[in-house]
Structure 1
C-alpha cells in the first residue's frame, strides 16, 4: 500500500513539474512606434545572445503575442564568420503604439525557397557581375574580369564601380531568369517581356549610389570590385561584402570596402562603406541626359533625381542618416557619364552609411516626382525615429 501511495505521489509531482514546464511564459519582444504614422516593412533585429537556448528544441520562431500566429523571420550572420548573430522580422505597428511578440521554438522543418525574395549572388556566367534584388527592385555592379577585358581591349567588358539599376515590375525574383534569357536564349534582358528590363545606362557614372572623392573641383573614383562575400539571403534581407583595390584621389590613397544589404519591401539598398585615407566621401546619382529634376532636403538628409526614361519616368535617391550629410553638388560636365548629383557624407569611425535606390513609374510603385520624394522623406523620418525594441 505504501508503495502504491509513493508511486502516486511521484506521478503527481512529475505531472505538476511537467505542467510548470509547459506553462512557462515565452520570452517577449516589445516593439514601440513613436511616430504619428503606421509602420510596416521596417526590419527589426534581436541579438541571438539575448535568447536563452539551453534545453530548447527546434528552431527559433517569432509569434504575434495576441494571435499566436507565426511571423516571418530570418536568422543572419552579420560578419561572415559562419555563426548566426541576429534574428530579423518586420512588425506592423499602428501610429503611437506598441506591439508584443513572443520568442518560441518549433521542431518543424524551416521552409526554404529555392530563390528567396531577398536574393544576391556572384554571376560568373556574365563575366563577373554581382547582382541583388528584393520584391521591388534589383541592382548589379561589376567585377575584375569585366575591368580587365576593357583594359585588354576585349569586347563585352565593363569598367565601372557605379551601381546599375535593373527595372523590374514584378514581385518575384528575376535575376537568374534574366541572365538565363540573355545568355542562353534568343531573348534579352534589354527587352521588356512583361517583367521589366535593363535599360539603365551606368558607364563610369555613379549610377545609383556609387561613391567618389572630391579634391578641389574634380571627382575621383575607384575601379571594379576585386572580391566578394555573400552574407545572407532570405525572406527579409540579403547582404554581402565587396572589396576594392586601393585607389588614388589626387595623391590620397583610399581603401574601400562596401557592405550592402537590401530588405524586403524597400526600394533603397543600405551601403556601409569602410574607408581609409579620407574622412568624407560623396555618393552620387547619374544625371544621364540632364533632362530631369533634382530635389534636395539637407535637413532631412536626402537627394533625388526624377527624369524621363524611355517610355516612362524614373526616380533615383540617396538618404543619409544621423545628420552625416554635409552638403551636396549638382555636378554637370560635358564629359560623358560624369554628370552626377552628389550627396557629401562625413564618415564616423572610418565608415560612411547611406541608402540608395530607385522607383520606376512603369512598376506602378511611384507615379510622380512628388510621390517619390515623399517616400524619401518618410524613409528619412523613420530612420531618425527607429522602432524601439525591448526584449523581456
Structure 2
C-alpha cells in the first residue's frame, strides 16, 4: 500500500511539473517605430525540447495579460504568432501546454483546376493568383502575378468568386441570352463575374504577357527571360495565419546552361500586404542578373524606384478605368542590396505586338549567384480599402523595408 501511494505521489508530481512547464518568448523591437501585429516564428523543436509534449498541437500562446493569441505550426515546424511591440521596447509571450481556442482563418488558398490551374490565395486584406499549365496549353501568355482587391470583409472571398464566375448553369444561360437578349445576357454576366465589384472587391488588375505585380525573372543582358506558367504546385501551409505554396517551373536553356529549373516558395501571412518569395535556380552555372518587375499601364505613372533603400512601387490605374475601380498600389521590397532600380519602357512595336499594350516595367535588378536563394517581398493594396493614398502606400513600403533591415529579435527560454 505504501508503495502504491508513493508511485501515485510521484505521478502527481510529474504531472504538476509538466503542467507548470512554460516557454518564455521575448521579442525586442530595435526600431524607432511600433511593430503592430507582426508575425514572429520560433522553432517547434526548441519549444518542445522544453515542454516535452506527446501532442505538439496541444499548446497555447499567451500574451502579457495571459490571453490566448492565434498561432500556427507551419510545415517546416515553426510556431508563428502575431506580436505588437512598441518602439525600442520588449514584449513577452508565453507558450505552454493547453487546449487552444479555434482561431479565425485569415489565410487560404488552393489550386483551381476548374479555372485552368490557377493557384489563388488570400489573407484578410488582399488576394493574389498565379497561372498554371492548363492556361499555358491554351497559348495565352501570362507570366506575372495577379491581384484581386478586397474590402468590407475580413472573410475569405476567393472560393466564392471562383464559384460564381465558373457557374456552369449561369454560363449556359448567358450564352442562350446572347442570341435573343444581349442586355439580359450582359446583366446576368455582371451578376456572376469577379471582374465586377459585388461589395467586397474584384479582379481589376491587368497582368497580360508581363511580370505583373512583382514576378521575378532572369535576364540575358537587357532581355528579360519571362517565366511561363508553373509546372507543379504544392501547398505547404494553409492557414489560419500563413499560406505557403511551392511552385516548380519547366526547364529552361540559358546560354550554355540547359535544364535550368526555377523553384519559388511564396508565403503570405495574416495582416500583411506583402508576400515573401524565395527563388532558386538549379543547374545554373554562372552569375546572371535577376529582375523583379511591376508592369506599368501608364508611361508617366506614379513610380518609385529606390535602389538605395531597397524598394519599388507603382500606382496602377486598374483595368477598365472608367468603371470606378479606384487605383491599385503595387510594390516590392528587397532585404538584400539592389544593384539598380529603374523604369524600362517597351519599344512601341513590342508594346503593341508582345505586351498587350502595357507601357513597360519598373524593375529592381540584382545579381543571382548559382546555388543561392533570391528573397524579396511583393504585394498590393487598394485605395478603396485600408490604404487610401499614394503617400500612405509609399510610407507602408518604406517602413516595410526598414522592418526588414531592423528585424525583431526573438529569444526563448
What's the TM-score, normalizing by structure 1? 0.87
The answer to whether the aligner puts 1:217 opposite 2:199 as a matched pair is: no
Distance 1:249 1:19 in 2: 61
Question: Pick from 25, 30, 41: which aligns with 1:29?
Answer: 25
The answer to whether the aligner puts 1:360 opposite 2:382 as a matched pair is: yes
Aligned to 2:339: 326
The answer to whether the aligner puts 1:304 opposite 2:301 as a matched pair is: no
Aligned to 1:88: 80
Aligned to 2:102: 111
Distance 1:360 1:246 in 2: 35
Consecutive unaligned residues in structure 2, runs of 5 or more: 171-187
Aligned to 1:391: 412
Contact 1:300 1:380 in 2 (8 A): yes
1:14 offset after TM fit, Å? 5.1
The answer to whether the aligner puts 1:166 opposite 2:162 as a matched pair is: no
Higher fraction of strand: 1
Distance 2:18 2:362 in 1: 59
Indicate how the Cα distance of structure 1 residues 54 and 284 shifts in structure 2: closer, same or farther if over 3 A, else same.
same
Aligned to 2:69: 71
Q: How many residues align?
A: 369
Per-residue CA deviations over 1:314-345 (Å, capped at 9, x if unaligned) read: 2111101032x111231101223361111112
Contact 1:238 1:261 in 2 (8 A): yes
User: The residue matched to 2:403 in structure 1 has which SS?
Assistant: helix
Indicate how the Cα distance of structure 1 residues 247 and 160 shifts in structure 2: closer, same or farther if over 3 A, else same.
farther
Higher fraction of helix: 2
Per-residue CA deviations over 1:21-52 (Å, capped at 9, x if unaligned) read: 27735121111111121112321111111022
Aligned to 2:271: 265
1:13 offset after TM fit, Å? 5.6
1:73 offset after TM fit, Å? 0.3
Computed over aligned residues only, the root mean square deviation of the Cα atoms, in angstroms, reads 2.5
Distance 2:229 2:394 in 1: 30
User: The residue matched to 1:371 in structure 2 has which SS?
Assistant: helix
Distance 2:245 2:15 in 1: 45
Indicate how the Cα distance of structure 1 residues 138 and 9 shifts in structure 2: closer, same or farther if over 3 A, else same.
closer
Distance 2:314 2:262 in 1: 26
What's the TM-score, normalizing by structure 2? 0.83
Per mean C-alpha deviation after superposition, the further-off stretch among 41-50 and 258-267 is: 41-50
Indicate how the Cα distance of structure 1 residues 286 and 249 shifts in structure 2: closer, same or farther if over 3 A, else same.
farther
1:379 offset after TM fit, Å? 0.3
